Structure formats: structure tokens, C-alpha cells
Structure 1
Amino acid sequence: MVTKTLPRKSAGNRHRVLHLNPVPTARLIAVVSLLLIGLGGLAIRLGWLQVREGQKLEAKARQVQTEKLDPLGRRRSIVDREGRLVAIDEERVTVWAHPRYFHFPGDDPGQRRSTREVAIRLAPLLGLDPDLLVARMGKQRSGVKLATNLEPSIGSRLKALRIDGIDFEHGPQRIYPQGPLFANVVGFLNLERVPQAGLEQSLERDLRSQESSIGIRRGGDGTPLPDGLKAGSMFRDDLKLQLTLDTRLQRVAQMELARQVKKWSAKRGVAMVMDARNGELLALTSVPTYDPNQFWRHKPGLFREWSVQDIYEPGSTFKPINIAIGLQEKVLNASTRVNDTGSLQIGGWPIFNNDKSAYGLIDLPTTLQVSSNVAMVKAMQKLKPAIYWQWLDRIGIGSAPDTDLPGAVSGQLKSRSTFIENPIETATAAFGQGFALTPLKALQLHGMLVNGGKLVSPHITRGLRSGDNLATAGPANGLQMLDPAVCALVLNWLETVVEKGSGKATQVPGYRIGGKTGTAQKAANGVYISGARITSFVAHLPINDPRYVVLVVVDEPQGGNAYGSTVAAPVAKSIIEALLVIEQIPPNKPSISNKTLSKA
């Protein structure tokens, strides 16, 4: 209805009167219809959103209301046997530049600073030349990485400059406090924190800290809400990996080994110390090495530990193992003597002593002292080739040692038929050639002699430990392979090598030490390399209470006087002296005389 006002007179005033006129029916119907259509559309849309789009919209809402925090990828620390840090994650800062936003505090809003102006302010704190920073930024407008691996304190000082266009990225950085000292076994992480070598790679799962993604609910103003966190969601374990290695002994071994490798212009070298009772390695160092904190400066060939991944012919250091096998099979005994004629022919092949000497009728202790090849061949000829091969196979010449060292490989042993049918194979094996093994395997086999005939598994880890707790040395163990009396007799004979033979360089006053030198031809692809040799020395101590084995191998030393006694033995002596102090081994009784040994 439409109203209309009409004038009326009252008391001298004029008033309007409102008259109501009816609304046209068609118009009313049109308005109501439009309203119903609108409400119907809203209802349909609401139903569509609730039924068809509900889950998608709910997910979007949760995405806005919650924040997912991914783990930083922290790694557990690595410590030596005494808890000294070997590897650790520390907070570091990466500095990024966005030149198009460069602005100093107090500048006009529209003013933009040049890359040189910013570089001049940053350079003193970064310790870099301004020209270098300008060159890094070049003409890029954003996303330029200026510096990485900065201490948090430096990052704070850079932030205090309040330069717009400079961003800071905080995150964990793997640091190796000992530098190159443990690089050969621990390995490293690359710039993307991906493990590339050593224990970092082989124990990747164990070294990852137990972190998980966390979802945090936020209120309308962005404030985190505590009801979105579950119990333990912020937990971070304090576990660390404990090694069996000793930093002090490792440092001595690396320093002395590096000195000899340089002195003799050798290709490389390795030094190892093992507690033969439980297989724990106290030192394992190789030269040349690299700095895992700056791995990009070194050749990738250095990233592998050759003492567990490369094989060599052990030479004379294997003679004590052969003698132990002969004694075990009772084809040799304490009174055995052989006639060293200086040379002999086996299957048309000539065999000589290293010094071309002929020692005549000699006993087994003398055979070890002078390292006679001819005497060893004649002694091992008393053992049937089939039984000899069985022993070489049984002690694992052709298999990899059971170890936690990454990348350990198996040795090479001729097939049973080849070994038995060719007399030259048994002859060369008698003085440690014609088969190959890794230095780690050689260390394990000499540990068998020290451990009373028990073959242990060499290892360098004691497992994960919590907080400040450290594991103690593991119990004595091993698989019994030889009679303890046989091993004791061989060790006594090895003591005479240090007293009277080629191992004199490792004598330490007041201590009974056994040992054996080795100088072997070097082979590649089945062919001996002219003039190339591998020198080695293995020590056993203390003879009165056998426990430790020290092995030093130097590859391709140069010079006419390069032998195990001149190249490897001096390194072994320095390591032994340090070991005696670190393990607090007291001096023992004077060594038994050769006369007493000959009657044993």
C-alpha cells in the first residue's frame, strides 16, 4: 500500500495526512520471489560447501590454524673412549643477501644502498674483503649466499647492523673438533648434511637424533596453543656414539706415521692398535688423510680407509701364523730344525732369502729372527697341502673380518685345487705371498696369537651412551682356533726377534715385547711390480701377559734400505711407548734367555 499525505487546517497550523495505497500484487510477488531465490541459492551453496567441499575447506582451515615444524636433522655426537669429542652438531649461521632491498637505518623509505656500501659494513665482521663480497653479489637482485658456518655471536653482531636485505639462516652444522685425526674412520657430512664416508655413513640411522615433525595449533592472533602438543613431542635424546679409539694414542700414531711416510717418500701408511682380548681398536690412523671440516679441499680418494678396503700380500709378518698352524697340526715342535741352503727350486721357480744368505741348520726361533724364506718353505712342506689350505680358509684369509668398520672387504685365497696341485702355491704361502688380505685382517690374525688362540672381531665402537655415561671395555671373547700353549710358544719365539733379530728397533727397556718384520713384493692385477714393496711390522705385548697388538704398514717406501725393520718398526716403537704410558702398563721381569726358549 502507498501512503499519501493531505493538508488539513487545525488551530492555525497546516498538517499532512498520510493515506495508504495498496502495493501492486505483481511487484510484491517479484520481491518475495527474489528473496526466496536468494535464500535458496544460499542454502544450496551452504549445502555444497558442507557436503562436497567440507573436507577440503577443513584441511585449509587446519593449515592456517596449525604450523608444522620439521625436525632440524640434528645428529648425535661422537666421542672417543674417554668421552673426548670427535664429532658434534653446533648451531651455525648462514648469511643471505637481497640487494634490491638494501636499506640502512635512518634512510629515506625510497632510498636503496649499493652492494659496495653494504659490503664495506659487512666485511670487517665476516673477515672478508669487500671486493670479494661485491663480486659474490654481482648483479643478482636476491638470494645471494654471502657466508656460511658462522658462529652465532658473529650472526648477532651482523644483525645489530640492522641492514634491510640481509637475512640469517640458523641451523646445525657438523663440526669435527679433532680435525684430520679421526677422518679416516668417522667420515663427514657434505654441505647438504648428507653422510659421505666412514661411520657417519655406515651408522646413519644410529647417529640421527630422535626428532619428529611437530604440529602446533595457533590462535587467531598467531599465538601458539598448548593443547596441540602431545606429551614428549618436544623430547630430544642426549645419546652419543662412543668409540673404542683413544685420542692420545691416535695422535701419536698419526704423527709418527706421517713422519716416516714423508721421510721415505712412501705412497701411504697405516698404523693400528688392538686390544686382542676383546677386539677393541685403540688406534686406527692412515696417512695421507684429510680435514672433514673442509672436505672439499681434498681429493675423494682420501675419503676411503684403505686398511679395511685394500688388500696386500703380508710377507714375513705371516710367518708366525704359519708356524702356529704347523705346531697345532704337530708337524712342527719346539725342537724342529730345518736346513737353510739359501735357495731352492719349487716347480721350476727359484726361491731365495731376502739377503741371499744361507743359514744352515736352524731352529724355528732363528727362522723368525733372520726371517728365512727357505727355512719356512721347508718347515711348511711337512704339512699336507690340503690341510694347509683348510687352515688358511678356516682362519678367514678369503673372507672379510667381522667388524663394524665400514667397507671391510675379503682377502684373496687361491682355490683348493689350485693350491694343492701347484707346489709353488704352498711354497710362497709359507713366507706370506701368493695370497692377499687387508691390514685389518692381518691385525686380527696376530690378535689370535695374543689372545691364546681365540679369534676376535675387531671393532671401533662401544655403542650409544646417554648423558655423561661411558661404557667400559668389553669382556674377553673370541672363537677358539688354536691351542693356547701353541700361541704362548710362538709369542716367546717372537720375543727373540725383538731381542736378537730384525725387530731390535722396537726394544723398550724393562718390557717384554714380541714382533715380526715384513718386506713383501707388491702385486697389482696378479703381477709383481718391479721395485715396489710393502714394509710392515707387527708387535705383541707384553709377552708375560699378552694383550695388545700393534701393526704398522707402509706402502711403497723409496730407497735401497727400505725394509720393515727400518721403515715400519720405528713407528711401532713410538706407538708402543705411548701405549705403555696411556694404559699404565708396569715394567715386567727381564725377558727369558734364548737358552731357556730352545728347551721349551
Structure 2
Amino acid sequence: MAESTKNRCQVTVDYFKARIFLLFFIILFFSGLIICRLYNLQILSRDYYLSLSQGQHSIFSNLMPKRGEIFLKDGSGVYPVAVNKNAKMAFAVPKEIENSNDLAEIVAKTLGIEEEEVEEKLKKPEDMYEVLKHRLSEDEIKAMDDLKLVGVHLSEENFRYYPAGELASQILGFVGWKDDSLGGRYGIENYFDKELKGQEGNLFQNKDNSGRWISIGKKELVPAQDGDDLILTIDRIAQYGTEKILKGAIKKFEADRGTIIVLDSPTGRILAMASYPNFDPNNYQKENLESFRNIAVSDSYECGSVFKTFTLASAIDDGKISPDTTYTDTGAVKEAGYTIKNSDFKANGVQTMTEVLEKSLNTGAIYAQKLLGNSNFSDYVKRFGFGEITGVELPGESAGNIANLKKIKSDINFFTASFGQGITVTPIQLVSAYNTIANGGILLKPQIVEKIINDKDEIKEIVPQEVRKVLSQKANNEITQILESVVKNGHGKQAGVPGYLVAGKTGTAQIASSDSKGYQEGTNIGSFAGFAPADNPQFTILVRIDNPKTVEWAESSAAPAFGELMKFLLDYKNIKPTQDYTQADLNKFNQTHNLSEYYMLGEKEEKEAEEKAKKEEEKNDKTE
């Protein structure tokens, strides 16, 4: 019996020990879970919960990248032309919202947006955030702060600002909304949108099979990657001077529009690119869509006699002519039922190839083209870069149209092409082709971005790029000599600058009719392209003036604009004169090259018109 009692006591003790062991195991198990959870919270998900502890605002800020900024060259430094400024945006956290319908109505009325749009965004509980409105006004910010709506927050955001206003506007483009997408529209902002935009961050958290967040699941916050900064090849002072002279030319000659491109001759880098009319990217909503197009790259045209340079250069390079080769100008060439005459309607008799360009003789260009041959001529045109895009880093570039040259047996197409009619080219192609001559016969790719700087401050330098060798050095020297003579003795006199050798050529072209065959009556486009100093080229410039009404020929519109701008650039860069000149020469130049004065006059008139319109508006407001 004693043994039995002893056994019963032993069982009781063992049972008690087992219960204690079980309880200890349960406590240990749950302690382990707590420790694992704390490790997950404090170590593995530290960044996530650190951001969460600072509010949804911090998480959202970490997810949105900062757009890269754009700079122009400015002396030894840079000048910001597209930067980010702070504003506030409203966003919702759907899972924090209890009554989405009531809240949607309040938010829609306060922010001036569609109620249905807000409702749709609030009914997404699986989303961590939903953007409601960007760039809130001060009144909207105050109203939202006063309402203190649960589930709706305000966050800092950047918006695009252009400190220089209209300066280089067609180059830059702007950042704007298209549907629900914010991005670059036109210009550099569009072409480099991906690089500038950067990469949004991500917020990862495990979900169960029903799509609900798992509270103890792994969480990871991947911060945004900011966009790249761009430093353009554009020189701020050169760009300002170019726009000033272009605007003065449009005013003086009562032209419809115009464009000027300036290249750094040795590298092909674009120092200035101006088109008018231009626009203010800070207020792009108020502008005409036509103002956004960069006609320097997107608009092709029949450039006229400025193209004769390439016809003669090609024939010289192919050994068919020299500057002193002569032909007899009868004043007209008949082909396929057409009679092609010189622009002066004269028969000049025996002429040299130098005189062909000095006097801009259509018959002489045809003579050189016939010696060269149709197929050969077509090949040279392509080698100069016509008929294909240059690859400049701007959107909307046109390749022009040289399709007429595919008809090898159609001599009339080649005759007209020899003096720049019947084929179309873009301003960027034309200035690049002239720069081929300025650069010793080598075609360079026009370049507009000099450096790309990523968010780690790593710098990628963009080096000048040679496309191909087009002319021999001998041929290049001879065509340069002819172009110098055009400025000294021919129709390009007003492009000359006292103290410097200038090489270039005029072109006055008819404008093709848009609704019928043939050309528009009484309209033309004046061009001048060239470079200086001719003995050591630093700047290659193209000036295009559309439909000037106070003058007829390019020698009186595009040529003086070229001369005034070239002098400005030579002075700005302290390029020393190499030729003798007198004060009288300089005084005469200043009297005839006064587009800057017309610019100032135009600015004054615009300001007066704005003030008048403002007064009228105030008067009407008082009347109402």
C-alpha cells in the first residue's frame, strides 16, 4: 500500500513537471516570436518604419525623384535655365479613409477638381498613396490645413521653373501635363525626359492570398533615383545676343519669322540657336502651339543660292573645275521645256567659277553640276549630310527632302537642285554643311549637350563626333577662297566685318505653294551662311529670315544680320583682327548694322502695349 501511495505521488510530480515544462516552452516560443518581430521591426524594416514614423509624407517624398536641372555655359561657370522650385501637392492614403464618398465631395470642392476622379482614387485601399492635385495655391493649402481631413495629406513637391524666361525656349521646351502624365514637352525637356526624370522609388510589403498586407511580412523601401543634370553647349551671352539680333531683324524687315544657328567651328558644338516667335515656358499654357516648334531643326525649305556653294565645292573636289575655270553665261539654260534664268535676268558673258558665286549665277551652278554628273552630284549632296537627320539631340528633327535626286535621268531636277530649288534642307543641316568647309572638309555632328551629371555627381563628357571626310584640303581651301570673294566683292558685302576675313554666301529662295504646284507670289526666304575668321574659323552661322517685306534680297536682310552677329561674337570672344581697317570702316558698319536698336524699339513697343492692355483690363473691372 505504501508502494502504491509512493507511485501515485511520483505520477503527480511528473505531471506537474510536464505542465511546468509545457508552460515554459509556450513562454519561450512566444518570447521567440516577439524577439523575431522586434528584430524584423528594428533591424530588417528599420528604414521603412523610420519613414513611417515620420508620416506618409516622408515615404512619399522618398518615392518621388527630383528632376534633373539644365544649365547653359556662362563664362567659366554655368547658368541655370531649367530648375526645380518647391510647391505643395495633395495626396490621399486610401486605407486611412472611412467614408470615401463624403471625403471626395469635400476634396473636389476645395481643390477644384472632378468629384468622380477623386472617388476613383480614394476607393483603392491597396494603394499606399494616390495623388490628388499638384502645385496647390496658397488658398488651397490654407483650406486643406484648416480642414484637417483624415487620410488626406500635403507634401512638398518640385515644379519646373525657367529663370531666364523666353531665353532659349525652343531649345529647352517645358515640363507639362499630358493626360495623367507629367513630362518633358518639346525641346531638351522632351528629348532627355527619361534621363531628367530619374527613377521612382518603390515600397514593397508582403501580402496574403487575398491581397491584404501581412503585418509581420518583409517590408522594403527603395528610395527614388534623382534625374541627371544637363550642361548644354549653348553659351548664355551668345544666345542672348543671337536672340536680340534675330528679333531686331524680324522687326526691321517686317518678317514673319526667322532662325539663327551659331556653331563653334572646330567642334560642331552649338553655341546659340534662336527662333522667333518664341515663348515663355513658365506660361506655356497661354502660348500658340506653333511657337513651341523649333524651326531650326524641324522645318525644311528650299534654301536657294546658298546651296550653290556645295555644287561648286563638289565639282572642285572631283577635279572638274577650279576657281578660275570659265564658261560663257548666256543668261538662260533650256531643259525639258523649261527656261532657267539668272536672278538678275542678265547674260554676263565669260565668267569664272569665282564670279559664279560672287554674282550668284544660276547658269554657272548648272554648268558645274553638268560637269560633275547627276549620280556624282547626288552622292556629294548626301556626303554633305543632306537627306538624313544630323542626329542633334533635339526632338522633331526633319531629314529634308532630296527625293528628286533619285530620278538620275531627270536633268531638270538636278539643274534646279544645283542652285537650291526643288530639294529641301533644314537650317541645322545647312549650317553643319557650311561648317564642314570651316572645319577643313570634315563633317561634324552638331552637338547641344556637353556634360551629363548623374545623382552621384559622376560626369559624362560628350566629345565632338566626326561623321565623315567630305572634301580634300585643296578643294576646301579653294571653295573657302571663293566664299571670301563673295563677301568682299559679291552679294555678301554686308556680311563682312571690318578687320576680319569672312567667308559666306547669300540665298534668296522662293517659297513653295502649300495648296498648288509652283511657288507663292511675292514671298521669299532670305538666308546667309558662312564662317569667320576665314583663315582660322571660330564661328559658323546660318541666318534665315522668312518673308521679309521691307527688302527683297537676302543681301539686305540675312547678310547684315549675319555681319552684326559675327562682329558681336568676335568681340565677345576677343578674337583679334587680322586685317587692316579704319575707324571710318567701323563707323560705316555701325550705321548699316543696327538691328540691336530695332530690338530695343520692339521691346519698348511691347512693354507699352502690355501696359495699355493692363490699364484697359483694370478699367473694365471697375466698370463691371
Distance 1:430 1:235, change over 3 A: closer
The aligned runs of 1:17-56 (5 Å cut-off) are none
Structure 2 residue 512 is matched with structure 1 residue 537: no
Aligned to 1:143: 111
The aligned runs of 1:216-255 (5 Å cut-off) are 239-255=228-244
Q: 1:19-63: per-residue Cα shift (whole Å, max 9, x none)?
A: xxxxxxxxxxxxxxxxxxxxxxxxxxxxxxx9xxxxxxx9xxx9x
CA distance in 2: counterparts of 1:86 and 1:443, whole angstroms = 25
CA distance in 2: counterparts of 1:314 and 1:505, whole angstroms = 19
CA distance in 2: counterparts of 1:500 and 1:211, whole angstroms = 61
Aligned to 1:425: 413
CA distance in 1: counterparts of 2:134 and 2:252, whole angstroms = 38
Structure 2 residue 558 is matched with structure 1 residue 563: no
Residues 196 and 227 in structure 2, CA contact (< 8 A), matched pair in contact too: no
More deviation, 275-284/159-168: 159-168
CA distance in 2: counterparts of 1:521 and 1:424, whole angstroms = 17
Structure 2 residues not aligned, in runs of 5+ = 1-32, 34-40, 92-104, 114-132, 206-217, 582-624
Distance 1:195 1:576, change over 3 A: same
The Cα RMSD (Å) is 3.9
CA distance in 1: counterparts of 2:484 and 2:448, whole angstroms = 28
**AA aligned opposite 2:526:** T
Deviation at 1:141, TM superposition (A): 5.0
SS of 2:176 mapped into structure 1: coil
Which structure carries more helix by proportion? 2
SS of 1:142 mapped into structure 2: helix
Residues 79 and 242 in structure 1, CA contact (< 8 A), matched pair in contact too: yes
Structure 2 residue 551 is matched with structure 1 residue 554: no
Q: 1:577 aligns with which of 564, 567, 570?
A: 567
Residues 277 and 476 in structure 1, CA contact (< 8 A), matched pair in contact too: no
CA distance in 1: counterparts of 2:72 and 2:457, whole angstroms = 13
Distance 1:371 1:348, change over 3 A: same
The aligned runs of 1:171-190 (5 Å cut-off) are 171-190=157-176
Distance 1:470 1:250, change over 3 A: farther
CA distance in 2: counterparts of 1:193 and 1:292, whole angstroms = 15
Q: 2:343 aligns with which of 354, 362, 368?
A: 354
Structure 2 residue 74 is matched with structure 1 residue 85: no
SS of 1:80 mapped into structure 2: strand
Residues 71 and 79 in structure 2, CA contact (< 8 A), matched pair in contact too: yes
CA distance in 2: counterparts of 1:468 and 1:588, whole angstroms = 43
**AA aligned opposite 2:575:** I
The aligned runs of 1:68-217 (5 Å cut-off) are 68-69=59-60, 71-82=63-74, 83-93=78-88, 142-144=110-112, 170-191=156-177, 193-210=182-199, 212-213=201-202
Residues 305 and 360 in structure 2, CA contact (< 8 A), matched pair in contact too: yes
Distance 1:417 1:242, change over 3 A: closer
Q: 1:364-387: per-residue Cα shift (whole Å, max 9, x none)?
A: 222111111122222322222222
Aligned to 1:441: 429
Q: 1:428-467: per-residue Cα shift (whole Å, max 9, x none)?
A: 1121111111111111111111111111111211131369
Aligned to 2:26: none
Aligned to 1:363: 352
SS of 1:409 mapped into structure 2: coil
The aligned runs of 1:464-483 (5 Å cut-off) are 464-465=452-453, 474=463, 477-483=466-472
SS of 1:339 mapped into structure 2: strand
Residues 327 and 364 in structure 2, CA contact (< 8 A), matched pair in contact too: yes
Q: 1:394-438: per-residue Cα shift (whole Å, max 9, x none)?
A: 3332222222122111121135552x3222112111211111111
Residues 353 and 374 in structure 1, CA contact (< 8 A), matched pair in contact too: yes
Residues 544 and 588 in structure 1, CA contact (< 8 A), matched pair in contact too: no
Distance 1:386 1:143, change over 3 A: closer
Aligned to 2:593: none
CA distance in 2: counterparts of 1:328 and 1:428, whole angstroms = 21
**AA aligned opposite 2:470:** M
Deviation at 1:291, TM superposition (A): 0.6
Residues 110 and 143 in structure 2, CA contact (< 8 A), matched pair in contact too: no
Residues 405 and 413 in structure 2, CA contact (< 8 A), matched pair in contact too: no
CA distance in 2: counterparts of 1:578 and 1:149, whole angstroms = 41
Aligned to 1:268: 257
CA distance in 1: counterparts of 2:471 and 2:497, whole angstroms = 29
Q: 1:518 aligns with which of 500, 507, 514?
A: 507
Distance 1:569 1:468, change over 3 A: farther
Deviation at 1:494, TM superposition (A): 0.8
CA distance in 1: counterparts of 2:554 and 2:285, whole angstroms = 35
The aligned runs of 1:352-391 (5 Å cut-off) are 352-391=341-380
**AA aligned opposite 1:74:** K
Q: Quick check: which has more Rg, 1 or 2?
A: 1
Q: 1:152-211: per-residue Cα shift (whole Å, max 9, x none)?
A: xx799x869986679965310100111111110111011563222111111111112455
Deviation at 1:391, TM superposition (A): 2.0
Residues 286 and 305 in structure 1, CA contact (< 8 A), matched pair in contact too: yes
Distance 1:417 1:495, change over 3 A: closer
**AA aligned opposite 1:459:** Q
Deviation at 1:238, TM superposition (A): 8.3
Q: 1:210-260: per-residue Cα shift (whole Å, max 9, x none)?
A: 5523679xxxxxxxxxx9888xx6686584201001111111111111121
Deviation at 1:77, TM superposition (A): 0.7
Aligned to 1:106: none
Q: 1:469-492: per-residue Cα shift (whole Å, max 9, x none)?
A: 988884574411110121111112
Distance 1:416 1:352, change over 3 A: closer
CA distance in 2: counterparts of 1:203 and 1:280, whole angstroms = 18
**AA aligned opposite 2:530:** A
Q: 1:399 aligns with which of 376, 379, 388?
A: 388
Residues 81 and 244 in structure 1, CA contact (< 8 A), matched pair in contact too: yes
Distance 1:442 1:475, change over 3 A: closer
Distance 1:214 1:354, change over 3 A: same
**AA aligned opposite 1:460:** I
Q: TM-score, normalised by structure 1?
A: 0.72
Q: 1:495-531: per-residue Cα shift (whole Å, max 9, x none)?
A: 1111121111122111111111110111145532222
CA distance in 2: counterparts of 1:305 and 1:488, whole angstroms = 33
Distance 1:81 1:478, change over 3 A: farther
Residues 64 and 201 in structure 2, CA contact (< 8 A), matched pair in contact too: no
Q: 1:85-144: per-residue Cα shift (whole Å, max 9, x none)?
A: 110111124699xxxxxxxxxxxxxxxxxxxxxxxxxxxxxxxxxxxxxxxx99985334
Structure 1 residues not aligned, in runs of 5+ = 1-49, 51-57, 97-136, 217-226, 592-600
Residues 268 and 464 in structure 2, CA contact (< 8 A), matched pair in contact too: no
CA distance in 2: counterparts of 1:141 and 1:286, whole angstroms = 42
SS of 1:326 mapped into structure 2: helix
Deviation at 1:552, TM superposition (A): 0.5
The aligned runs of 1:260-299 (5 Å cut-off) are 260-299=249-288
Q: TM-score, normalised by structure 2?
A: 0.69
